[in-house]
Structure 1
Amino acid sequence: MMYQKALKTLLVFAAFPALSSAQEAATHPTYAKEVSRIIQENCQNCHQPGSIGPMSFMSYEEVRPWAPLIQMRVANREMPPYHYDNDVGIQHLQNDWRLSQEEIDTIVDWVNAGSPLGNPEELPEPKMYPAVDEWRLAAEFGQPDHTIKSEAWDVPANGQDLWWKPIVDSGIDESRCIKAVETRPSAAAIGSTHHANSHFKVLNEKGEWVDGDRLSEFAIGKLGEKVPEGACRKVPANSKVEWEIHYFPDGNAVPNDQVTIGIWYHDEEDGFVEEESYPQDLRAYFLSASTDDYMIAPHGKLMTQGFRSFDHPVRIDSWQPHMHLRGVAMSLEVFYPETGRTEVLSQASNWTSAWNHSHTYEEGYQPLIPAGATLIMTAWYDNTADNPMNPDPDQWVGSGQRTTDEMSHAWIAVSHLDDEAYEALLTERKERDNSSVASLDGGAQ
């Protein structure tokens, strides 16, 4: 009886010949048809010769040896490097680097199938990417309308943290509304430029140069900053720009290094006349999550918090966490005192100082904060050996400017609103949400 059952099984398998290579390829993703397009759209911008990626992914031959590592990093959502939680807070973001679950599954299935090339005729046309020394926002806005350079600085090959804080003329002779701004380090010093902050200096009534609004910031991974529709972020005429450039030598000496800011203006016909503009005054706020007196114990962990409220309504347009090597997570919440309710706006539970993203909310989904509500920023630190970025878990770590010190703040773009503008935005969103619900109900009938 067992023999007959085995024979029947054998006959069943014999009735189905082995799949041809073409049939087999149709059962799983291939590099040529599916994976190459995911790599092209999400990886090659950094993984190309001369860019910041440690290896090039410009062809199948370059990608194939790294397939198992790519699978692991993609499945764990470590690559592309965009550290923003998928299931907490606002998910409508501009320039979102995160892969969809379908894209992740495609790469995982491809590697599990042996990382096949597939039909080379299905490969996409090569894509051209901006060089490291080109403006990232130029693809959308063209070349900047105005540029500002720092004074030259000789970056040594080796040494400790260095700060360069020159003050230069802005070269701006009339006040205009900014459409976008980007800070770009030199290609030669991109590895040693930890960050570059800048702010305006303006003359007060006494003829003294005083600090004005923040201008821009560079940190590894940051694209630039785009001003939301309807908001006028003004540059002051006849102003100066004060830089704070933090260098950390990486083994390559760069003489006469300069960092450059590119500014794109709104067209004058856009109607941004101060008296007639939409009542928004966009500024970038530095929100600290702690005082400066904390210490993280050796092999210890720490949580800090900071708070900020406004006496008028505001709109939060973007959120960019910033910590150093022991920083591992940050969240942004809002507390509504009238109801006692706390809402999570954004959270990054697997944050790393290797990348700094300005998370810009999509138009119509920016958090609207009523007057009197409190923003809460929470930061978490891990000074143990479990933190892969930690250079020495035996050290006490306090707040400071050095890379080995800690920070806990966020750059937050804030549009200031009057009551009328706030209510108008609330009404627009209620109408949109009601329309969406009605559409869903109609589709279900």
Structure 2
Amino acid sequence: MAQDVTFTKDVAPILERSCQNCHRPDSIAPMPLLTYEQVRPWARAIKQNVVLRNMPPWHIDPNIGIHEFSNSVALSDAKWVDSGAPQGNPADMSPPRKFDDKDRWSIGTPDLIVEMPQDLVVPAKGPDRWPNIVADPGFTEDRYIKAVELKPVRGYKTIHHGGLTLVYPDGTQAMIQEYGIGKNAEIFPDGSGRLITAGTKISFSPHFHSYGEETKANLAVAFQFYPKGYVPKYVAITTLAGDDYDVDLPANTDNIRTDTYITLTKPTRLFSWEPHMHTRGKAMCMEVIYPYAGRRPGGSKVETLNCVFNYKFNWMIV
């Protein structure tokens, strides 16, 4: 029954799981949502944004492809709002979530934290900046990482997003992680990990945007390693697609489509994908084209795995 849905018993656990990483003091959201007193004035606005799927940011089309995601934040609080947003019995409320320094990293306690070598001063006014800043963490042996997370440690408001690239001793590079509002950490499934070789450096690529106030900003990356000598069954890689050529968008034309392809030469497990476009981006889908079976009528089989149907540049969700 709708009248049985209360804040303390039903809604508070949802907020802890899906909202409070952002909606807490000193974070990126405009208001905290920790207590009943903080949440109640926003109840109808919360319902509206949840129904419209603006919040929590989760842009997967619910009618296409796979939907069993380990990090899904999709939720509904409509019954609670429609029944008057009752508080319920305070005794049903679990202890409030604590946000100490360790909890600031969603991967848990890091084994290693590396900041950019120095803060960058972003002027109150000026063009956007995309510097590349190299740091040497001092990797003296090969190690597999279990998790990696990149985020601002100073100047949240001025950092739209940022990338982290591994710079190998031979000069080649490979992207490993990206920060954006709503972007998750990279936590590899058990039995899989990313290799960092001895002598590897890391390159920070933040996107700074002036917002009317001079700001000092910095990014940091946190690593969790597997034990020394451990070799996972699956070695993870990051592949970029569609970013190596220009796309022409004709004026006054809707739904311009562009395609890119990646060939898998051996059996592969897909851990995650991150649609990344800019302000003109509208939707993105990921399809699998299976090898031609020879006798199958119609040739190769194509299966749609996922589609993002209302892409928003302000959110970068994996």
SS across alignment from 1:41: helix
2:82 aligned with 1:117, yes or no?
Answer: no
Q: Which of the pair is proportionally richer in strand?
A: 1
TM alignment of 1:190-229, pairs within 5 A: 190-204=156-170, 210-229=171-190
Percent of paired sites with the same residue: 32
Question: Letter of the aligned partner of 1:264 in structure 2?
Answer: Q
Instruction: Check the 8 A contact 1:289/1:304 in 2, yes or no.
Output: no
Which of 318, 328, 331 is the aligned partner of 2:285? 331
- Offset of residue 349 of structure 1: 1.0
Change (3 A) 1:126 1:236: same
SS across alignment from 2:241: strand
Question: Letter of the aligned partner of 1:110 in structure 2?
Answer: W
Q: Deviations over 1:156-180 (max 9, x none)?
A: 2222211111222231111101111
Instruction: Check the 8 A contact 1:290/1:306 in 2, yes or no.
Output: no
TM alignment of 1:381-392, pairs within 5 A: none
Q: Deviations over 1:353-378 (max 9, x none)?
A: 121122xxxxxxxxxxxxxxxxxxxx
Structure number with higher relative contact order (C-alpha < 8 Å, ≥ 6 residues apart):
2
Partner of 1:401: none
Q: Deviations over 1:133-192 (max 9, x none)?
A: 932211xxx2x2222222322112222211111222231111101111111212x31222
**Whole-angstrom CA distance in 1 between matches of 2:102 and 2:22:** 9
Partner of 1:264: 224
Instruction: Check the 8 A contact 2:57/2:317 in 1, yes or no.
Output: no
Question: Letter of the aligned partner of 2:271 in structure 1?
Answer: D
Change (3 A) 1:290 1:260: closer
Partner of 2:149: 182
Change (3 A) 1:303 1:58: same
TM alignment of 1:262-341, pairs within 5 A: 262-268=222-228, 271-272=230-231, 278=233, 280-288=234-242, 291-298=245-252, 300-339=254-293, 340-341=300-301
- Offset of residue 298 of structure 1: 4.6
**Whole-angstrom CA distance in 2 between matches of 1:214 and 1:283:** 9
Q: Deviations over 1:252-304 (max 9, x none)?
A: 3223x3211111110126x32xxxx53x4321011117830412525744222
Change (3 A) 1:132 1:327: farther
Partner of 1:42: 18
TM alignment of 1:23-422, pairs within 5 A: 27-99=3-75, 104=76, 107-130=77-100, 134-138=104-108, 142=109, 144-152=110-118, 153-186=120-153, 188-204=154-170, 210-255=171-216, 257-268=217-228, 271-272=230-231, 278=233, 280-288=234-242, 291-298=245-252, 300-339=254-293, 340-358=300-318
Q: Which has the larger radius of gyration?
A: 1
SS across alignment from 1:191: helix
Q: Deviations over 1:379-416 (max 9, x none)?
A: xxxxxxxxxxxxxxxxxxxxxxxxxxxxxxxxxxxxxx
**Whole-angstrom CA distance in 2 between matches of 1:26 and 1:300:** 42
**Whole-angstrom CA distance in 2 between matches of 1:26 and 1:222:** 33
Q: Deviations over 1:104-135 (max 9, x none)?
A: 2xx22222222222333333321213569932
Instruction: Check the 8 A contact 1:48/1:56 in 2, yes or no.
Output: yes
Partner of 1:14: none
**Whole-angstrom CA distance in 2 between matches of 1:35 and 1:202:** 47
Question: Letter of the aligned partner of 1:111 in structure 2?
Answer: V
Instruction: Check the 8 A contact 1:28/1:109 in 2, yes or no.
Output: no
Unaligned regions of 5+ residues in structure 1, if any?
1-24, 205-209, 359-445
Instruction: Check the 8 A contact 1:336/1:342 in 2, yes or no.
Output: yes
**Whole-angstrom CA distance in 1 between matches of 2:201 and 2:131:** 16
**Whole-angstrom CA distance in 2 between matches of 1:284 and 1:342:** 23
Count of equivalent residues: 311
- Offset of residue 310 of structure 1: 2.7
Question: Letter of the aligned partner of 1:313 in structure 2?
Answer: P
What is the TM-score when the length of structure 1 is the normalising length? 0.65
Change (3 A) 1:300 1:27: closer
Instruction: Check the 8 A contact 2:2/2:80 in 1, yes or no.
Output: no
Instruction: Check the 8 A contact 1:30/1:117 in 2, yes or no.
Output: yes
Change (3 A) 1:231 1:44: closer
Instruction: Check the 8 A contact 2:167/2:203 in 1, yes or no.
Output: yes
| Larger mean Cα displacement after TM superposition, 242-251 or 65-74 | 242-251
**Whole-angstrom CA distance in 2 between matches of 1:87 and 1:301:** 19
Q: Which of the pair is proportionally richer in helix?
A: 1
- Offset of residue 343 of structure 1: 0.5
Question: Letter of the aligned partner of 2:184 in structure 1?
Answer: L
Question: Letter of the aligned partner of 1:353 in structure 2?
Answer: F
Change (3 A) 1:237 1:26: closer
Partner of 1:379: none
> Over the residues paired in the alignment, what is the CA RMSD in angstroms?
2.4
**Whole-angstrom CA distance in 1 between matches of 2:3 and 2:187:** 43
- Offset of residue 26 of structure 1: 8.3
